[in-house]
Amino acid sequence: MLVYQDLLTGDELLSDSFPYKEIENGILWEVEGKWVVQGAVDVDIGANPSAEGGDEDEGVDDQVAKVVDIVDTFRLQEQPPFDKKQFVTFMKRYIKNLAAKLDPENQALFKKHIEGATKYLLSKISDLQFFVGESMHDDGSLVFAYYKEGATDPTFIYIAHGLKEVKC
C-alpha cells in the first residue's frame, strides 16, 4: 500500500486506495470522495418487531454518523474559508517553502506550472472547502474539496508536488 504524506509536515493526506486523476499539467490531483455511514450497522434478521413486542425505533443507534471517507480516514481538519487575498498570500508562502524541498528537476516543473494551478484554484475559491492534515501545521499543504455540479459527493484536490509517496 502507498500512503502520500505532506512533504512539509509528514501528515498522511491520501493513499493509493483512493485513485487520482492528474489535472493542470499534473500539478494537481483530483480525487473523488464519498459520504459513508460510520458506526453500528443495522441488520434486518427478518423478525417482525411489532409481533415481538418491540418498539418501532428499536435498533436505532445514536452513534451512527455520515462522514466523508477521505476526511475521516486521514483525520483532515477543516479550516475557515480563504478569500482571494488570503489564498494568494498563503500560496506565495507555500510555493516558497515547498520549492525549497524539491529536487532541481521537480522544482523546475513545479515552478513552471504552479501559477496555472493557482489560477485554477482561485477560479473555484468561493466553492472550496479547505482542509489541513492532522497536525494542523500552518505551513502544511492544503487539501481542497468542492462539489461538482449536480454531485452529492465531494471532489478533493491535492497539490501533487506537496506529497511524498511512502510504502507501507
Q: 102 with 108: CB under 8 angstroms?
A: no
Q: For the beta carbon of residue 70, count every other beta carbon within 10 angstroms.
A: 23
Q: And the C-alpha cell for 37?
A: 455511514
**Rounded mean pLDDT of the chain?**
91
| Whether residue 61 has pLDDT greater than 70 | no
pLDDT band at 24, cuts 50/70/90?
A: very high
Rounded to an integer, the average pLDDT of 16-40 is 94
CATH 3.40.50.1980 describes domain 2-36+70-167: no
Nearest CA-CA partner of 30 in 138, 136, 137, 120: 120
Domain residue limits, the chain: 2-36+70-167
Q: Name the maximum alpha-carbon separation found in the chain.
A: 73
30-55, pLDDT tens digit by residue? 999 999 998 766 666 666 655 555 55
CA angle 74, 14, 69 (to 5 degrees): 50
Q: What is the dihedral of CA 69, 131, 94, 162, to 10 degrees?
A: -10
User: Grid coordinates in use for 13?
Assistant: 493526506
Specify the pLDDT at position 63: 76
pTM score above 0.75: yes
| pLDDT average, residue stretch 120-124 | 98
The predicted structure's pLDDT at residue 56: 53
pLDDT at 58: 53
Residue 105 has pLDDT above 90, yes or no: yes
Average pLDDT for residues 156-160, to the nearest whole number?
Answer: 98
Say which residue the cell 473523488 belongs to: 32
pLDDT of 64 above 90: no
Residue holding cell 471532489? 155
Query: How is residue 131 written as a grid cell?
Result: 482542509
Give percent of the chain above pLDDT 90. 82
Mean pLDDT, residues 4-9 taken together: 97
Which residues, 6+ apart, have CB-to-CB distance to 116 below 8 Å?
24, 25, 27
Listed range (8-17, 53-62, 141-150) with the worst mean pLDDT: 53-62
62: pLDDT strictly greater than 80: no
